[in-house]
Structure 1
């Protein structure tokens, strides 16, 4: 239950919970102060009553001095009766005087109550003693008179009427205390709410900023200039203005980035379409020269068909990626052979030899299309860098940890410095569009790349592809 109440309390807004908490604290403090004041008044009343009893005994003692000196019991009783008659403000009082030790007490006034005898008769010598019900009290003292033995004087005072008046005033005082405490709580709550106004203004400004509204605070709601609250509001307004400017800059940058992305997409698609087009044009040229040969025609048509399918796959993949409907499939030996067939016409045109080394006996769980695009670009770059009579090879091997290693080797003069920096930095954009495509596809495959470039001799570029999670490339 306490945890539930704590959560409910924490769910209240601070604009309500803090003034309410402050008001309740002020209400409780005011009640405590009122109760302390009431207890203090009661203690002061008790002290005043004791002083009243002392004054009362002073009057009686003055009237009893001469009768006690004369040891006249009748005169003592008469003085006691006269003193009793003068105390009209005390109701049902009783006076007890023992003229000398061992003498019979002289009692005047109300009938003796065995339950409330004078304290000195019980061996108690206190000057003031209140009864258990607090309705009466005994005031007593030892009276020393020159020429007479010590006498004991005791007066029982009745405070019933005072207690009745206090009982009547009790509910009124309690209600007045409650009203004053409630007034104090409400006043503190209002002051706390007013003190929270700058914080609430800041919260409102932050809420507006979170919703995209960066307008400054209303001037009429600002605190006095120069105060801490005013400086806080000014800081929030400055932050809102800077956030608004940042949003405008971000929007402009997003527009530029979108334009650049569209440009890169168009260039990539054009590059990917151009690569198979080169092989297809070469195949058409072969068909024109050797059209009489059925085998030559079949090979040319087969190459044209694969090139068109490659272009179809590039276009379809571009659409699927942007629509989020791309369905990957595993890489097979046929994919590697297709890539080599697409590049071979360009290699033959340049007088090179293109080889496929290694085996892939079973499909590898990696998306085939990005792998094909990356290898196609690397092989075309290798063919372009290698001179006539050279060899370009594509090697494939499964590593011990299950990773697939695809290595493109050429006999060119090594990679230029900008291309090396692009590969080492893992950048998806750079001076070479084909290399940018390779880096982008490698990022999709969570693979890595290693380069062994020997200037003037050869270049070896190895792609390491981890197996995709089960079902990801099914």
Structure 2
């Protein structure tokens, strides 16, 4: 048991990734501490600048009222100054006269006019008008003397809410944690595979030696005999041993051919491409939640879009694994799915300064697989945006026609190459990509269209680019399954 727990007894393929994890954790802690420290310092500096600007403006407005000892005008000035500075949440403001008595306060019940400021309150503020934050709290404090013609008329004490800054730091911390975890996992995986390749010669030699005790001696490939260092000398010694045995027994063997590697790179590239497509819209929904999360309708619409987008990403992973049939639940296409496409397309269109002319007249639910149809249309829309020059127009139109769902997409680009158009129109599942570097976007569109029985008509657009008309036949079995 103790031997099993000893790290030195673990294989190198475990020890090295474990060391990588330990180093990454230490590095992540150091970097995260530095980042959060710099962020907090930047936040406090920014808050201090805003606070000074707030007190500068407030002081100039208060001096006439304080000179006249006009309590109501002083209170009105303090009250009006609350919402003047975006990003600055004034929690409380107290104005003292030259005698140190309260002239007016944003909370007159806590600090009545004519009373002295409690010592525990003044202790929160730095001497000399400096900036101070509450240790572990949610407030920051700043004070300023009211001076007119070299004469001190009074003082202003202001406190500011810093909960939003703490929330921002927590958000950054969560992002750092998630990023560091992801990087650690990736590096540990790379370390595992790298060490696996490094110890492969030793494993190979061990396997050969074990096999030689049960059967004939297996020779090494010449590439291993040419290796350098201790491993090379070991391999050459083993090779001479094998040669001697082969000379005595006149036995020859060849090593088995290596297994052909699967095209995992292309599949991974395609999945990354397809998953990345809706992310802009999802981040847009998050931004909407941040800005308008207090509005029920905006919050519900954003959450619904996030749910559908994440469901689409989950289903894209299944769709990209074209060596297997997609399994799981399917549903019909809803009008909200078409509206989602517009939201998902908005960040790309805004980035490229494109105008999206959108028309949807599908009425109700359409008996078409929503996940695959959305994936097809999103890819074609993104391709249309990529092909169109900045400041141009992309149009989208969706409608019913008999037993079909028809979508028309026009772009203002240079036009689709004939090879790509022919590839998209092809119904032969064995047809390969029209060029090796075409990527999986168009390939997956055609694959999904074949699965849905959809067809594509490609022609010149009145906008000067390409018009793609995709016709989806209704699948009433899909509709019945969705109802069930």
* TM superposition score category, shorter chain reference: 0.3 to 0.5
Higher helix share: 1
Q: Which has the larger radius of gyration?
A: 1
TM-score (norm 1): 0.41
Normalising to structure 2: TM-score of the pair?
Answer: 0.40
